[in-house]
Amino acid sequence: MTNHFFVSRSSTPRSEEDWKEFFHFNMWRVRLWPLKEVKEQDRLLWYDTKMKRLTWETEIVLIDGFDYKTVESAVRRLRKHFGDTDLDQPYIRGRPEPGYCLAYRSDPVRRLDLPAPEGFKMPMLGWLRADDTWRNTWAKQI
C-alpha cells in the first residue's frame, strides 16, 4: 500500500530536471516515526513554507534510514548511497551526535500549485501523515 506524507522545506526544486540532482535527508536526536513508516514508492506532498503552498507530488525511489555515531559517519554513508554531500551545509552543522538519519531520493509525479487550506499547520518535525481529511481538502483543488 502506498502512503502519502506531507514534507516541508523552505524551498523546493523548480523543475522536474532539478529533482534529478536532489536527495533529501533529516537528522534527529531520537528515532522519530518517519524512520519506521516511510518507504519506497510512498508519495510525498511537498509544502513550501515560504510560499505556503503545495508545490510537488513525488514518489520515493530510494530510501535509507539509519542510526549513526558521528555526523561525519552519517555524511560518509550519505555520500556512498546518494552522492556528494556537503559537510559544511548549514543543516548538517550542529546535528546531534549520536543520532538518526532518514535520507531519500524521489522522482516528480506532478507539479502542484495549491495554497494551504485554512487551518493547515505543518509540525516542526517537517513531516505529517496525509490523512484523508487533508488529502481530500487539497484534492478538491486539483
Nearest to 45 by CA among 78, 15, 9: 9
Q: 62: which strand partners?
A: 105
pLDDT in tens, 93-139: 889 899 999 999 999 999 999 998 878 888 999 999 987 666 667 66
- Reported as a single tens digit per residue, the pLDDT across 1-17 is 789 999 999 988 889 98
Cα–Cα distance between 26 and 95 in angstroms, integer? 10
CA of residue 51 relative to chain centroid, distance: 17
Q: Which among 73, 97, 98, 101 has a CA at the least distance from the CA of 87? A: 73
Range 4-139 classified under CATH 3.40.50: no
30-63 residue pLDDT tens:
999 999 999 999 999 999 999 999 999 999 999 9
Domains of the chain, by residue range, sit at: 4-139
Kindly report the three-state secondary structure assignment for every residue of 86-117. CCCCCCCCCCCCCEEEEEEEEEEEEEEEEECC
* Rounded Cα gap, residues 106 and 8, in angstroms: 14
pTM for the structure as a whole = 0.90
The pLDDT value given to residue 140: 62
